[in-house]
Amino acid sequence: MNFERSSGILLHITSLPNKFGIGSLGREAFDFIDFLKESGQSLWQILPMGPTGYGDSPYQCFSAFAGNALLIDIDNLIERKLLNRDDVAIIPEFSNDIVEYDRVREYKNKLFETAFLNFTEFADLEEQAEFEAFCIKNSEWLDDFSLFMSLKEHFNLKPWYEWNEAIKIRKSKDLNKLKIELEERIEFYKYLQFLFFVQWSDLKKYANESGVRIIGDIPLYVSLDSVEAWANPELFLFDEDRNPTFVAGVPPDYFSETGQLWGNPIYDWKKHKRTNFRWWINRVKANLEMYDIIRIDHFRGLVAYWSIPFGEETAINGTWVDAPGKELFTALKNEMGDLPIIAEDLGVITDDVVELREKFALPGMKILQFAFDASEENNYLPHTYDKNCVVYTGTHDNDTTLGWHLSTNDINRNFAREYLGICEFEHEIVWKFIIEAWKSVANIAIVPMQDILNLDSECRTNIPGTSSGNWKWRYNETISSEIIEKLKKLSHIYGRI
């Protein structure tokens, strides 16, 4: 699908400024949309919004369908009379620079408990009916998810594969007994999802009315500790003890000498083909209800994936295994028509990956930081682009552009200076990158918020191959009128408004 010429900003919702320690779906998100509109931007790209587990990576979620309750706006709960001002009279001193997930989770969960109690005691018939309608509409994923989260709580937050055997393998008699015992907690987790999606719906409506489209993100794989792996093990390559036989990752590459061992279970693609990819169709449909455009992370894994034997300590000893990407996208297209999908086609890209992307007219990704690796030829330099692509200065997995500039070698740095025409004013390197992206022929140009603010490596979102210290960055400064006018002017000059 060819998109119109446009531009936007990559910023995950957790990074928005907020007094409650983490960005939310509240006022700060609406204000960010106002900033996008005022600066001539029509796209807001975010990371996956699912409930995160260990390490708080949005790419390792407990569910492929549920929302992250930590993003629920507290002020909106006060407006809805689910909380009162006294409930939030004392707010811990959260960091303005990073998300302190454990502290935020402890504080917000107490408020959610209060809100749920108030709902169960005081909700009128209309409010109850709205909640019940949500539960019925989303029952296909919501029932299992709410049970899964209640069971995690019951088993002291252990992953499902460490629960007692009967519950691990979903033995009906034992599971039904616990369902009765945990009925109130199941309802609690359903209610949190209701609040999340009500708030998200209001935010997306405001964005679209402001001329801003949301680009969401689908991780290719689900987490091993997810409701999908527990409730639908037939979709994955598990042995008779529900252990994965192979897990996902990528071979050694630009980011890591030993590759990346993600540990996600591998899909049983034979099973998916027999059901005409019904689970995938439902997943993509659900995401296209949430977002205007979706980006499929690790798109190349739909052509061939790096399969690592379970138990390996690194990703080195994997093998490439073919995946039925062509059949999958044919099924998606037959069901939904044109697919507003961006393919994350970074990494080891072979001709068959390009063929699949081009067959379904999916725009791929171009990263400007990759363009200035003077040691090898690449197709990331802007003069090599065609229109149907998305250019980024960097992504959530890259260093900030200022950080890249300060840490790269002199050969790469000088190559960038020559290509971008920088004779002096080296401090303007980041905006030179942004200008290069905006003036390229790429239909879509996206820049991370860190680059808009000209921030260094301390503010990067993620370091691939590491398991701690990521996904925490928050910005707390006011976006200046100078930045707004600069972005707006660039978008006018290069035809992106």
DSSP code string of 453-481: TT--GGG-S--TT--SS-S-B---SPPPH
CB distance 51 to 69 below 8 Å: yes
The single residue of 73, 144, 217, 344 carrying the catalytic annotation is: 344
CB distance 284 to 218 below 8 Å: yes
Does the structure show a pLDDT above 70 at 94? yes
Q: CATH number for the domain including 371?
A: 3.20.20.80
At 47, is the pLDDT very low, low, confident or very high (cuts 50, 70, 90)? very high
Count of other CB atoms within 10 angstroms of residue 304: 17
Count of other CB atoms within 10 angstroms of residue 382: 17
Side chain identity, residue 19: K
> Of 351-360, 377-386, 416-425, 471-480, which range is least confident?
416-425
Q: Which helix H or strand E contains 308, and what residues bound it?
A: strand 304-309
**CA separation for the pair 177, 26 (Å, rounded):** 39
Residue 436 forms part of a structural domain:
yes
The pLDDT of residue 425 is 63
Nearest to 72 by CA among 156, 211, 188, 157: 188
Structure tokens at 175: 């599971």
Q: Catalytic residue at 75?
A: no
Residue 127 forms part of a structural domain:
yes
Residue 1 forms part of a structural domain:
no
The pLDDT of residue 2 is 84
pLDDT digits (tens, 9 = 90+) for 302-353: 999 999 999 999 999 999 999 999 999 999 999 999 999 999 999 778 999 9
DSSP 23: -
Please state the domain count of the chain: 1
Side chain identity, residue 487: L
The single residue of 397, 399, 436, 451 carrying the catalytic annotation is: 397
**CA separation for the pair 495, 497 (Å, rounded):** 6
3-state percent breakdown (helix, strand, coil) of the chain, nearest 5: 50, 15, 40
Residue 353 forms part of a structural domain:
yes
At 423, is the pLDDT very low, low, confident or very high (cuts 50, 70, 90)? low
Nearest to 387 by CA among 316, 441, 426, 431: 441
The single residue of 73, 297, 345, 451 carrying the catalytic annotation is: 297
Side chain identity, residue 301: G
Mean pLDDT of 246-256: 86
Q: Catalytic residue at 344?
A: yes
Residue 219 forms part of a structural domain:
yes
Q: Catalytic residue at 352?
A: no
Does the structure show a pLDDT above 80 at 255? no
Does the structure show a pLDDT above 70 at 426? no
Q: 348: domain range?
A: 6-493
Does the structure show a pLDDT above 90 at 428? no
Residue 94 forms part of a structural domain:
yes
**CA separation for the pair 35, 292 (Å, rounded):** 19
Q: pTM of this prediction?
A: 0.96
Furthest CA-CA distance within the chain? 74
Find the Cα–Cα–Cα–Cα dihedral 437, 439, 443, 444, rounded to 10°: 40
